[in-house]
Structure 1
């Protein structure tokens, strides 16, 4: 259920926080604050986009559908981004499955209201065009990563990305879900996670992962994590 939007302002989504105050307040007037539930599917591929989401302390997995499996993760959206950015291209159909991976708050706005506000705010349009470029670049980076990099390095990258989105050192995730998201066998995830745990980089117990050594995790991660961060810093900041 929607809750008071006044609570949102101190924790604002980074895209919206970058707007001039007038544009920011005007946008908030058309939004509602909602609680996103774990494993809630916000979009299915090919489905009409009814709402646009700006995560606050939640994060959303973007996965492309594959035959006989849940899907291969192509990106994560946290409070640095938005869900529904394809509307910027005049396309109101979701290209990917959007699954809530980290429950929490988000700002939600209907598609008609979003498009109306977008027409009225050149600052919002400029910010979201930049974000669209970043998201496309990161999805392309993920595709290359899935093809060429080893499971342990990809897992380390994924854990770093999730820590960034969750703003926490601890989060809940199963080996089976990780295997689906990374497109590998469950035994490969178990082996990679055990390797990281044996080096005291992470602690993994009953689906709860705690990052103990972020620097060690960055050292294990492939270069794709740094590339993702660099493209965001170069374009958005």
Structure 2
């Protein structure tokens, strides 16, 4: 696999003009991302950005008592640390690998220079930033108003949409962190969803069998996420 081909698996990189892609190509470094890898530390400056080709990233807010909560999921539609990059400020959350896969790394400096010169790229970055912040706001509201079953269904649907696979390699502990609930709650909810026929549970993975059944269970937050990203032209 060559760098000439790899970027097309990330929608943002694929949207670049040929000249902009050529300008960035010398800075692109392919890498594997393993589940749990920390790509950006909370409170740290942004030195490089990560463009998933497969798998997903998670924005996590960390607390002093050791707890954490997920605010957004990032897949092959975009990149890590975007709001901090645009603001030229330290990242206010941790970015870690949620679902393993492949990615491209690009240092901040050449990408910033290109974004300042390429209005089309800057527009795409602003749209993505809006989409991620809207997803985080929707997550905050969802966590307050909706059941753990609805929230887990939303998480699974977002994950398979952005990872491009119906099989999600994830542990109950990971899901507990993502949803901010106890592992026992995750176990109860997973078995409830399994009983509906929507998913099959395996060792350290969840396989979505009947997407329509998950969409029947999920709250309206998922539809808002999906419609917004599509209306912005970020996903099909």
TM-score by length of 2: 0.93
Indicate whether 1:135 and 2:135 are aligned: no
Matches within 5 A, 1:31-180: 31-180=28-177
CA distance in 1, matches of 2:205, 2:34: 18
Please tell me whether the aligned partners of residues 75 and 139 of structure 1 are also in contact (alpha carbons under 8 angstroms): yes
1:215 to 205, 212, 216: 212
TM-score, normalised relative to structure 1: 0.92
Structure 2 portions without partners, runs of 5+: none
Is the contact between residue 179 and residue 189 of structure 1 (CA under 8 Å) also seen in structure 2? yes
CA distance in 2 between counterparts of 1:86 and 1:146 reads: 22
Quote how far apart the aligned CAs of 1:120 are: 2.0
Q: Give the superposition deviation at 1:41.
A: 0.2
Cα distance, 1:87 vs structure 2: 4.3
- Displacement of 1:102 in angstroms is 1.5
Kept in 2: contact 1:88–1:129 (CA 8 A): no
Q: Which contiguous aligned blocks of 4+ residues in structure 1 show a shift greater than 6 angstroms?
A: none
Number of aligned residues: 234
CA–CA distance in structure 2, aligned partners of residues 35 and 21 of structure 1: 25
Unaligned ranges ≥5, structure 1: none
For residue 92 of structure 2, give the secondary structure of its aligned residue in structure 1.
Answer: coil
Measure the CA separation in 2 of the matches of 1:9 and 1:118.
Answer: 17
Match of 1:230 among 227, 231, 234: 227
Aligned residue in 1 for 2:4: 6
Q: Secondary structure at the match of 2:103?
A: strand
Contact persistence 1:69–1:180 (CA under 8 A)? no
Residues 78-109 of structure 1 show CA distances to partners (whole Å, capped at 9, x for unaligned) of: 00111121245332311111111122211111
**Residue 192 (1) aligns with residue 189 (2):** yes
3-state secondary structure, aligned to 1:98: strand
